[in-house]
Amino acid sequence: MRLTPRPMAPEFAPPYQDLKYMAPLSQERAAVLSKFVASNASGCVLDFGCGWAELLIETLEQGHDLTAIGYDLESDGISHGRTVAEQRGVGDRLEFVVGNALESLPDQAGGVFCIGASQIWGASVEENQPLDYRCALTAIRDLLQPGLPLVFGDGIWTAQPTPEAIAPLAGRLDEFVFLPSLLEIASECGFVVMRTHQASLDEWDEFESGFTAGYARWLADNPADHPDRAEVAAKLARQTGAYYNGYREILGMAYLQLLAV
């Protein structure tokens, strides 16, 4: 039987080529977050949804007695994280688990990062349910002895959501909460808030630009009559439209420096 070769999907540069972190997060703010964990953690620091583990690497560079485990679904990001960890001299203290973090949860942690990954414990993103911060915070609290740190980051509303903002997200006004509600939830789940951060518009613009840079570069690098051009242009237009005509200045990102109590 003769098999017709399947057309190759267009390939884009990996996100770590254009982004330092897979979140709207500046290096300055990341330095504050990693310093907080490095100076309050003890033993093994976990990062749920670590991406390419840049925050864990920065934490290990400061906390020389610490070890760490990064969990993520994406093997590409983890391979990159492994290489960078070796280059920066912390590879022997950093392990990775590729796959659903829920399937290999430890029963304790010396400190935790969880940034943009609350859905690990709640409903999956595809279900378009409200983000279940409480479920994630309760599960993480169970891993920590009092006094140990958690950096928790996730989406919040920073302005009243509009129909244009929610359309490319889960399509619901209650997908996220405002910052005061998130602070209350953190406290009800057994944490004290040591410091609150909210991503700036610059951090968001940089993140969104980095996120779409792979599509933009593909369009710049490929000929005008490439058969995939329309598809790639549509991806770029969809994402930039979702942001600039939709959730920019409405979807925010909070980072909380928490200690278990």
Ligand X SMILES: C[S@@+](CC[C@H](N)C(=O)[O-])C[C@H]1O[C@@H](n2cnc3c(N)ncnc32)[C@H](O)[C@@H]1O
Residue 116 engages ligand X in binding (rule: CB under 6 A):
yes
Is 168 or 229 the residue whose CB approaches ligand X more closely? 168
Binding range to ligand X, per CB under 6 A, among 36-44, 67-75, 128-136, 211-219: 67-75
Is 51 or 149 the residue whose CB approaches ligand X more closely? 51
Are 97 and 69 spatial neighbours (Cβ–Cβ below 8 Å)?
yes
Is 62 or 231 the residue whose CB approaches ligand X more closely? 62
Residue 145 engages ligand X in binding (rule: CB under 6 A):
no
Are 122 and 135 spatial neighbours (Cβ–Cβ below 8 Å)?
yes
Closest CA to 109 of 160, 67, 171: 67
Are 258 and 191 spatial neighbours (Cβ–Cβ below 8 Å)?
yes
Residue 50 engages ligand X in binding (rule: CB under 6 A):
yes
DSSP 223: -
Cα 230 from Cα 9, distance rounded (Å) = 13
Question: What are the structure tokens assigned to 92, written together?
Answer: 């022997």
Residue 66 engages ligand X in binding (rule: CB under 6 A):
no
Is 22 or 41 the residue whose CB approaches ligand X more closely? 22
Are 152 and 183 spatial neighbours (Cβ–Cβ below 8 Å)?
no
Binding range to ligand X, per CB under 6 A, among 94-102, 128-136, 144-152, 240-248: 94-102
Residues 17, 31, 39, 73: which binds ligand X (CB under 6 A)? 73
Residue 31 engages ligand X in binding (rule: CB under 6 A):
no
Single-letter amino acid, residue 259: L
Residues 18, 22, 155, 252: which binds ligand X (CB under 6 A)? 22
Main-chain dihedrals φ then ψ at residue 149, nearest 5 degrees: -95, 150
Cα 20 from Cα 25, distance rounded (Å) = 8
# of chain residues touching ligand X (CB under 6 A): 18
Residue 186 engages ligand X in binding (rule: CB under 6 A):
no
Residues 18, 58, 72, 175: which binds ligand X (CB under 6 A)? 72
Cα 191 from Cα 187, distance rounded (Å) = 5
Q: Give contact residues for ligand X (rule: CB under 6 A).
A: 21-23, 49-51, 71-74, 100-102, 115-117, 119-120
